[in-house]
């Protein structure tokens, strides 16, 4: 596998796969990429990291301003803003750099990882806006449509809205898990017309078929798949009146895995011939060459949601604008470190340093990511 190509995840605590120019930029302005990531000693394995982070991480205090925007199909999207009006670094609202955060599957603006990302951004003087997936931001569903990793039209609507409000403010996208897949699919679709200056993804599932297979392993099914499926079914049930017009809700409610849920709900709702067709369309791995802005992608080699053999390392190596940062440990959105890993962790530091690098050194970044690699 990948070890044969010179990548050994278990002997190297962190590997950074990218062009030399992008590597130089990151090592200079985002020094966490050159750090040794040491997981919490009592929380070593990927499954444990994944489970523990949800319960142990602190929840920085964030107060949001909610905005509902309408979509072309008559639906609505819930945005949660942190304006950061007291920003000393960027007192002028019109040019204050903005971080657009895309949470994971069943996630919203209240997840600890979102609150930590906001804490990192606001202390540096930036504005944040969280794009809650349709039906998951506490808002009412006005049309029989929710969201999926392959459908980027809502994200397109949100980016246009933010750019209309603040045309002078640079905008960076930060996507976690499914939010990262959505961000990558959007960046691949839009190329140089994305409206974003850069992106960062955390714990993305690169190949949906491989991720689903990993989550169907008995222990992963028991620990993660079953629970996520229940959450998805509950969300669909909450909007039953609206969604029963287009899908068989009772059949969906009997789904026992994410794959069954996608087969009965997601692929049907979004008009795919089969679940496999949807999974191909949702996978960001093969689309990376179509992206045009600098993207940093963090994954752990022991992530139960995203198996390491599906990481597009060989592809990233030859792209000037993509950097893959792979840690041996960390699980899915875990990356816990220290004996009491409640506060700021490796992933949070990476987000903070990277967004600062992007916003404060745009010239260096442009030069680093536009040099054609041999």
pLDDT digits (tens, 9 = 90+) for 198-251: 999 999 999 999 999 999 999 999 999 999 999 999 999 999 999 999 999 999
The torsion region of residue 135 among left (phi > 0), alpha (psi -120 to 50) and beta comes to left
- Sheet with 198-202: list strands edge to edge: 14-17, 322-327, 295-300, 198-202, 171-176, 98-102, 127-131, 76-82, 65-70
d(CA 228, CA 230): 5
What is the predicted pLDDT for the residue at 373? 39
What is the domain partition of the chain in residue ranges?
15-207+288-368, 213-282
Q: Is the pLDDT of residue 301 over 70?
A: yes
| Low-confidence winner among 81-90, 331-340, 363-372 (lowest mean pLDDT) | 363-372
Please give the C-alpha separations between residue 357 and each of 29, 111, 228, 362, in angstroms, as whole numbers.
Answer: 5, 25, 35, 8
d(CA 202, CA 327): 12
Residue 370 binned pLDDT confidence (cut-offs 50, 70, 90): confident
Helix (H) or strand (E) holding 10: none
What is the predicted pLDDT for the residue at 171? 98
3-state secondary structure of 9: coil
Residue 112 binned pLDDT confidence (cut-offs 50, 70, 90): very high
Supply 230's token pair. 């229940």
% of the chain beyond a pLDDT of 70? 96
Residue 106 binned pLDDT confidence (cut-offs 50, 70, 90): confident
What is the predicted pLDDT for the residue at 12? 57
pTM for this entry: 0.95
Catalytic positions, written as ranges = 177, 303, 332
Arithmetic mean of pLDDT over the chain: 94
| CB 105, CB 203: distance < 8 Å | no
CATH architecture for the domain at 15-207+288-368: 3-Layer(aba) Sandwich (3.40)
Please write the tens of the pLDDT for every residue from 178-203. Answer: 999 999 999 999 999 999 999 999 99
Positive/negative CA dihedral, 156, 160, 166, 167 = positive
Helix (H) or strand (E) holding 198: strand 198-202
What is the predicted pLDDT for the residue at 5? 46
What is the predicted pLDDT for the residue at 244? 95
Q: What 8-state DSSP symbol labels residue 150? A: T
């Amino acid at each position: 596998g990948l070890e044969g190509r010179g990548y050994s995840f278990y002997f190297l605590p962190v590997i950074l796969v990218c062009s030399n120019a992008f590597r130089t930029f990151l090592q200079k302005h985002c020094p966490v990429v050159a750090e040794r990531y040491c997981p919490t000693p009592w929380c070593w394995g990927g499954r444990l990291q994944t489970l523990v982070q949800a319960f142990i991480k602190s929840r920085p205090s964030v107060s949001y301003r909610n905005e509902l925007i309408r979509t072309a199909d008559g639906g609505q999207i819930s945005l949660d803003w942190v304006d950061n009006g007291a920003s000393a670094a960027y007192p002028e609202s019109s040019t204050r750099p903005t971080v657009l955060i895309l949470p994971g599957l069943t996630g919203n603006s209240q997840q600890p990882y979102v609150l930590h990302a906001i804490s990192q951004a606001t202390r540096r003087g930036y504005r944040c806006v969280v794009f809650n997936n349709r039906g998951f931001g506490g808002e009412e569903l006005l049309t029989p449509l929710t969201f999926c990793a392959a459908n980027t039209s809502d994200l397109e609507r949100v980016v246009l809205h933010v750019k209309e409000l603040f045309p002078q403010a640079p905008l960076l996208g930060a996507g976690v898990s499914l939010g990262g897949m959505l961000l990558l699919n959007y960046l691949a679709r839009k190329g140089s017309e994305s409206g974003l200056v850069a992106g960062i993804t955390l714990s993305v599932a690169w190949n949906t078929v491989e991720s689903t297979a990993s989550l169907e392993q008995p222990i992963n099914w028991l620990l993660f798949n079953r629970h996520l499926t229940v959450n998805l079914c509950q969300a669909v049930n909450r909007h039953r009146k609206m969604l029963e017009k287009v899908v068989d809700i009772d059949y969906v409610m009997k789904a026992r895995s994410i794959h069954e849920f996608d087969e009965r709900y997601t692929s049907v709702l979004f008009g795919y011939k089969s679940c496999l067709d949807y999974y191909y369309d949702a996978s960001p791995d093969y689309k990376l060459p179509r992206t045009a802005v600098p993207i940093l992608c963090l994954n752990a080699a022991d992530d139960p949601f995203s198996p390491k053999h599906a990481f597009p390392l060989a592809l990233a190596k030859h792209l000037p604008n993509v950097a893959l940062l792979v840690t041996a440990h960390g699980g899915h959105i875990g990356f816990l470190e220290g004996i009491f890993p409640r506060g700021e962790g490796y992933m949070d530091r990476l987000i903070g340093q990277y967004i600062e690098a992007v916003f404060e050194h745009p010239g260096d970044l442009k030069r680093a990511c536009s040099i054609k690699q041999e």
